[in-house]
Amino acid sequence: MKQFSQQGDSESGMMTTKVPGAETAEVQDNREDPLSLGDVSAGSSNHKRKLAAPPLNVSLEHSEGSILSEDALDTDDDLDTGDDLDINIDELDTSDEADSLELNRPEGSEEARHGAAAATDDILPRRQSADNGRDSRLWRSVVIGEHEHRIDMKSIEPYKRVISHGGYYADQNAIIVFAACFLPDSDCDNYNYVMENLFLYVISTLELMVAEDYMIVYLNGATPRRRMPGFTWMKKCYQMIDRRLKKNLKSFVIVHPSWFIRTVLGITRPFISSKFSSKIKYVHSLRELGEIIPMEYVHIPHSIVKLDSDLQNTAAKAERRGNADV
C-alpha cells in the first residue's frame, strides 16, 4: 500500500508539475498577429486572409464611427499608393452615349413652366393697374425763367410732335419747326389744361434745342379752325419766352398763312416789339421755303404736303386760264 501511495503521489506530482518554458510558449501562442484575425476560408489553396472592416455608421450625425466624424475624414499617410493605382486615361473605354447625354426632365415640366408664366403674366397687369391707379401721370419739372413748373407729360403725349428740330442753316443756326396741325382740338376733354401743359413743353423744349441763333418755321397749313391756337395762348407764349431766345431769334417764317393767322398777328402787334414784327416772313409754298432753308431734316406732315400740292395745281390751272384769256 505504501508503494501504491508513493506511485500515486508521483503521478499526481507529474500532473501538477509545470515544464519550464511552457508558459512562455503559451503566451506566444495567445499573441496572434492582428493581421491573422480573419478566418481562413476553407478549401482555399492560397490561404488568403480576409480583413474584418470596422462597422460603418452611415448616420449624418457627428457621432463616433459616422461618415461625418473627424476620424472618418482622416487619411492615413502610410497607405500604399503604388503603381497599381495609376490610371491611364487614354486607355479608358467611354461610350458614345455619354456624348449625347440628355438631362432627365420630370414629366409635366413644360406645362408647369407655361403655367408659371401664365400666372406671372396675370399678376403683372394687376400690379401695373394698381400702380396706375395710384399715379397714372408722368411729370417733368422744368425751370422757365426763374420759376419751376411741372409738366403733365401724359396729357400731352399725343401732341408732342407739334415741335421738332429741323436741322441747321447758314452758320449752324438751329431750325425749329412748329406744326400747328398737331395741336389738340378745342372740343377735346380738358382743353385748357392740355394747352397749358403743352405750352410749358414747347417753351422748355425750345430752350433745350437752342444754343445760339435760330429760326422758327411755323407750318400753318392743313390746320382746321378748331385746332388753331387762340390769341391768349400765343400772347402768353411770347411773354414767357426768355429774353435770350427773343434776341437770338433771327426769323419767324409762316408757311401757308391763312387770313386767321394774319388777323391774330395783327391783333398781337401792339403787344410785341417792332424788332420781333420785322422778323416775321410769309411763305406760300414748300418750294419757296426750300429756297430759304435746307429741307433735308425738316419734317413736313403728309397733310401739309398734300395741301401744298393741291395749292400748286390750283395756281397752275389759274395761270393757264389767264394765259388762255389773253
pLDDT for 95: 47
- For the chain, which residues score pLDDT lower than 70? 1-137, 326
The grid cell for 132 is 396706375
pLDDT for 322: 82
pLDDT for 145: 77
Asked whether residue 12 is assigned to any structural domain, the reply reads no
pLDDT for 229: 83
Strand 173-179 relative to strand 163-169, pairing: antiparallel
pLDDT for 96: 47
Asked whether residue 182 is assigned to any structural domain, the reply reads yes
> CB neighbours (10 Å) of residue 239?
9
Q: What is the DSSP string of 94-113?
A: --GGGTT--PPPPTTHHHHH
Tens digits of residue pLDDT in 226-255? 998 877 888 888 888 888 898 999 999 999
Structural domain harbouring 269: 139-325
Asked whether residue 269 is assigned to any structural domain, the reply reads yes
Q: What are phi and psi of 320, to 5 degrees?
A: -65, -40
Asked whether residue 129 is assigned to any structural domain, the reply reads no
Asked whether residue 206 is assigned to any structural domain, the reply reads yes
Asked whether residue 4 is assigned to any structural domain, the reply reads no
pLDDT for 48: 53
- Residue 164's SS3 state is strand
Q: What are phi and psi of 95, to 5 degrees?
A: -85, 150
pLDDT for 161: 95
Asked whether residue 82 is assigned to any structural domain, the reply reads no
Asked whether residue 309 is assigned to any structural domain, the reply reads yes
Number of domains in the chain: 1
**CATH code of the domain containing 164:** 3.40.525.10
pTM of the model: 0.58
pLDDT for 136: 52
Q: Report which DSSP code applies to 171.
A: T
- What does the alpha-carbon distance between residue 184 and residue 115 come to, in Å, rounded to a whole number? 45
Q: Report which DSSP code applies to 35.
A: G
pLDDT for 233: 81
Q: Using a CB cutoff of 8 Å and minimum separation of 24, what contacts does 72-79 make?
A: none
